[in-house]
Structure 1
Amino acid sequence: MPGLRDTERIGVRELTYEVRKRATTFKIDPADYSCPALAAQLADAWIDYHHKAALKQSHVYRAAVRSFAKFTGPHLSKLGLDPADARLDDDRIDLSEVIYAWENHLTSRYDESSTRPWDLVSSVLTLIHHRAERDPKVPDKLRRRASAPPGFRKATGQSLDEFSNAERLAIKGAAQTDLRALEKRLAWGRELLAMGRDPREHGWMVLPNLVWAARHRILTTAAMREHYPRSSRGWPPELEEVRALGRQVGISGLLRGVYGLLFPQELDLHSFRVLLSLSMLDCTIEELHVLQIPDLEFGNHGVRIVQTKNRADRVRADYHLADSAVEEDEEPGELVYEGRGDWDVPGLLRRLIQVNTLTREAFTCEPFLFTAVENKGKTKVMRAGFARFSAPGRRFTHWIGSHTDADGTPVLDISQPHDSRRLRKTAKTTRVVALGGTLSDMAGDDHSIQVFHRHYAHGTTAHVLAGTAMNRAQQLVFDKVTAKPVLVLPEDQAQLGEPEFAEALGVAPDQGAALRDGELDMGVSNCKNPHDSPHSTPGKLCHVAPAMCMACSNAVVFVSQLPQQLLLADHIERMRLAMPPTRWHAVWSRQAKALAEVFEECADHIPAARQAIEDQELRLDLPLGMRTEYDR
């Protein structure tokens, strides 16, 4: 840092760094504030910290210095103190108390969901701490305050939800319609340009001449006021039609309308922004917004795009295939726009470059893809520049509101807020719907699971899918818990091989015949398919029979198997005495309940089954593995 007492020097503090690939200079003039010494010290700390911390940008630190200095002067004056005495290396004025008052001022000024107050206070504290590490004259109380966080909790901000599918389709349709209208309008403008001549010699009331003047940049508000009456009643009808395109009244509307016949304006470029945001899943609004023509490399099969994400300090290249490169037998999916070529990412980028070709020929401007011709400022001169989509009447919400019917009623019913970042979330959740898989599948290659969970998984679509997945998992468990065997009476057992009986049982006729003949006998019941058990790995022989047969939807019970089931019920009751209650309930309660229901349905056959056990000296045949797994 320069000399610690050098804040007495006079001069504007300047810092230059790159913003949107262009070197931009930012300034703080201490003389603009009634506490110039404090403002100068903080400005010096800002510049020094920017270089020492190797920051790429430091907008928030500059804004914090200006906000704090602007507040400090009037605040100290109200207290009867001289703002000129405020310094970081002097304790005549307690800056800790000033910071506390500033915090209260910011929290009352901004909405409770805004993160701006926390960012500003945190930035000033960082700069004071940076100064205190290098200047022993900084008071101890101010040092301690600078080492602590802001005195209020940082707001989390309002989470943005994605657009609904109906809204997505409506926005996409409106953008496609606008894009076609823009290209048609520019084509008409080029036809008029070819017919136009210099209006200074051939008249100002001829539309082609006005278009010619716009192309050669001699059409200005001042020139038109010399040749047009204030009232538009005497204008030719075609000029009135063009004035309506300018969305303003009088000469200003005509000026914008004529230039709009040759050059796209910010409101026109929203259609490209919308369509590209919905189709480029791996590109943020920030990355898309600052793309320049040199960042694109077109090939026969698509386009290679070099994208820069400032927040992540990352530059990467992505390749987007053209729809025409898709195999002929492969249908376009949900994430691909209808049509071939012109509505895919390469096609949209080619069309965006094409609509701005004349802009780059007529104006000296940087090669941003989103370049618009606007009449900003007091001079009302049309200039070409970077489309920021932030000026009044040019934001995303204004583009949505510009779609009206003949009565002026909005035709796009889009939920608030009209934030362009919701387009990105909509594209990501569309991918979620397409995949419908795990969180790692949904995160994709351009996010970690944590980032996706924090910024995208809170959306309504993701919540609905998560709820559906949870319901499906719970239903599987519920079906497993409530599964019951099917009881087949003796008169129906002999007919299981017939198609209608087998279909009623839910098996093929050959399976029905195998059940009838005892080929699928599992001990206490028969099984529809021992290799497709819900309790075992599909394709492998069930390993939990007969312990879990009475709690399985595959089980088919014949009355002839009642003796074995009675023996199993007796075994379960013995286990009730031998096992802890919680363990017995977890292992055997479902089977005991299912057996009781079977015995209730076959009450007339129970005495005969008990007699058969006694006469034939039947014993329950349980595998050794079952005894070690279930009976302990």
Structure 2
Amino acid sequence: MRQHSINPADYRCSVLAAQLADEWVKITRALGIGDGGANYGSAVRKFATFTDEYTPTLGLDPVGARLDGDEIDLVEVIYAWEEALRREFPQSKHPYTLVKALLALIEQRASAGGRVGEKLKARAQAPTAFRAPRGKPLDEFPNAERIALRDAARNQVRATETRLAHGKGLLATGVDPRDGGWRSVPNLLWAARAGMITSKVLKRELPSEPKWWPLEIRDLLPAWTDDGRSRRPGVRALVRALGRMLCAAEMDLHAFRVLLLLGMSDTTPEELHDLKAGDIEFTDGGVRLVQQKLRAGRIRADLHPEQPAPPVEAGAYFAGAGAWDVPGLLRRLLAVTNLAREAFACEPWLFLAVDYRKETGGLGTLCAEFTHDKRRFTHWITSQRDSSGSPLAISEPHDVRRLRKTAKVVRAVALGGSLTDLAGDDHHIEIYRGHYAPGTTSHVLAGRAINRSQQWVFERVTDKPVLIDAAAVPRLEEPEVAQSLGLSSAQAKAIGTGDLDMGLTHCRDPYDSPHRSDGKVCHVAPAMCMLCRNAVIFTSQLPRLLMLSDHIERMRAALPPPQWQAVWGRQAAALNEVFAECADLLPAARQQVTDLGLRLDLPLGQRTEFGR
């Protein structure tokens, strides 16, 4: 139960506050709002406070503010309040929520026949001045971080299983401490298993100071650091340590959740968290889970098949008590939480944790929420170490929903296909498009697909220029030579006399340009000649091409890489192919450029657009 209240006498605009508070009570009861309509109450308080502060700046007394009066223009006050909220919460949905709540209260009063000014009524029916900001979709974890999280979680699972196996062995040797004594760890574990351990009992049975406890008991306590915030470990820490020797704690269960979410692309974190032991059915081929998606209002059963175990070489080391697929992880999770179900009266949650309970001073069970202070996903990440002993370098935000997106991306990379295939059976296509497709990996895959398709088109549409060596130039007008080069006799003669020189190369037919279809003269020469099927290059033109190559390299330093690639990248690749066919002639051509002081003639736009 939560109690909310507003005292109109706390505000100078007490009539306005009372009128809005009455509407708050009505709308909360009418809609059956479970939390008492906290947003509506907050909107009333904040707007009344703002009215008290803002109206005196207009030379008005806030006492006159009311919904059924015109002494103060409340429409102007609402707009000013929206501006103030946007400045106070620039990147939050909170201003939008508060203004929508206020307008809903005013509109409800008007709809019920209450007196509301016509201008104010029109404002209540209009949308807010600012839209709710759209949050940026969470990105998936990069593959290296996914592997790091997976390995850290596996190490945590192994460590948890090892610790519980050690505690189970000690428990088997323990006896009732009322007969065998309270200063033995096995006996304390026996008492914890029987529900006899509380901080009050330990204070009575053990020395008052932990330094006088037996060494084997003191070794169970966590290390104490004098940081001014933590307390010296005592009986509470001992109760918690005994519980961790027998059952999994909440921080231990993070590792299972990480591995399961990485292996179950069709399961949301809340569906996994809400599972109970009765929702899990093991079959010959895997495990069947009955999952509830509360937001979608549906229940479905999913079968997760067992994965074939990888071959293990002779002598290979494997530390673990089972498989790492979904059925194997669920078996291991049920095993580490089984003792808690047997020892304590509790609901059969899958993620069942044991911890110290303040109300009883002993051990108790709870469903791991993963939201308590210092027990969130981010705290688990910061407590992990990689193989070198360094903290895990995981990008923020440390949001568990990114694990699901990572699993979705892995599925997309493995399956490919259309959005229908990638969305699977647990999403609409638009949901996948809006929440999963914007991820970095999806963008990279889409970019690669576009590049492949463009390259496929370029390879079929664009032909290479024809390179004619010096020995073939005198024989160019011979029919056999011209035909072998794909030229007619008239074209060969015109090229030989220089009539079709386009500045960088010769051209078979300037009126048959692949860059236009209206039969007019080519309009992109010489900028696109290196990418044209009509281009014919003589070795005597190599100095020009070398100067063009130098110009392209200067543009590489002046332009951003994406822009340079779009403008000059394909031409640079075509030039490199030409130079590779006549590499032995390039030194002489380079020397000719220097000796003759040649200058490259390019259209003015290509020189000035990038060199201002």
Query: What's the TM-score, normalizing by structure 2?
Result: 0.67
Question: What is the total number of aligned residue pairs between the two structures?
Answer: 489
The alignment status of 1:580 with 2:518, answered yes or no, reads yes
The alignment status of 1:208 with 2:186, answered yes or no, reads yes
Match of residue 113 from structure 1: 91
3-state SS of the aligned residue for 1:244? coil
Match of 2:5 among 21, 30, 38: 30
Quickly say closer, same or farther: Cα 1:76–1:559, change in 2 above 3 A.
closer
Match of residue 40 from structure 2: 65
Match of residue 301 from structure 2: 317
* Residue identity matched to 1:263: C
Match of residue 369 from structure 1: 350
Quickly say closer, same or farther: Cα 1:162–1:143, change in 2 above 3 A.
same
CA separation in 1, counterparts of 2:61 and 2:193?
58
Match of residue 464 from structure 2: 484
Pairing of 1:514-529 with structure 2 (within 5 A): none
Quickly say closer, same or farther: Cα 1:558–1:48, change in 2 above 3 A.
farther
Pairing of 1:125-164 with structure 2 (within 5 A): 125-126=103-104, 128-130=106-108, 132-137=110-115, 140=118, 143-164=121-142
Segments of 5+ residues of structure 2 without an aligned counterpart are: 11-16, 225-229, 312-318, 470-478, 495-507, 541-612
Match of residue 525 from structure 1: none
Deviations 1:251-290 (A, max 9, x none): 2221211111222221111011101110110111122222
Q: CA deviation at 1:298?
A: 2.4
The alignment status of 1:42 with 2:20, answered yes or no, reads no
Preserved CA contact (<8 Å) 1:296 1:303: yes
The alignment status of 1:186 with 2:164, answered yes or no, reads yes
Match of 1:196 among 167, 170, 174: 174
CA separation in 1, counterparts of 2:195 and 2:238?
15
CA separation in 2, counterparts of 1:134 and 1:192?
71
CA separation in 2, counterparts of 1:229 and 1:105?
61
Quickly say closer, same or farther: Cα 1:339–1:383, change in 2 above 3 A.
closer
Q: CA deviation at 1:301?
A: 0.9
Segments of 5+ residues of structure 1 without an aligned counterpart are: 1-25, 51-57, 330-337, 490-556, 602-632
Match of residue 305 from structure 1: 289
Q: CA deviation at 1:134?
A: 3.3
CA separation in 2, counterparts of 1:457 and 1:89?
50
Q: CA deviation at 1:466?
A: 2.2
Match of residue 372 from structure 2: 391
Preserved CA contact (<8 Å) 1:42 1:128: no
Match of 1:422 among 384, 402, 409: 402
* Residue identity matched to 2:283: G
Match of 1:352 among 333, 344, 354: 333
The alignment status of 1:466 with 2:446, answered yes or no, reads yes
Q: CA deviation at 1:376?
A: 5.6
Between 1:382-391 and 1:186-195, the stretch displaced more is 186-195
Identity of aligned residues (%): 44
Q: CA deviation at 1:150?
A: 3.1
Match of 1:293 among 277, 282, 306: 277
Preserved CA contact (<8 Å) 2:198 2:360: no
Q: CA deviation at 1:393?
A: 1.0
Pairing of 1:197-596 with structure 2 (within 5 A): 197-244=175-222, 249-324=233-308, 342-375=323-356, 381-404=362-385, 410-484=390-464, 559=481, 561-562=483-484, 565-566=487-488, 573=509, 580-581=518-519, 594=533
Deviations 1:400-457 (A, max 9, x none): 11124899x7431111221111111111121232234444443333333322222122
Larger RCO (CA under 8 A, 6+ residues apart) = 2
* Residue identity matched to 1:397: T
Match of 2:536 among 597, 602, 614: 597
* Residue identity matched to 1:580: D
3-state SS of the aligned residue for 1:119? helix
Q: CA deviation at 1:95?
A: 7.3
CA separation in 2, counterparts of 1:155 and 1:381?
47
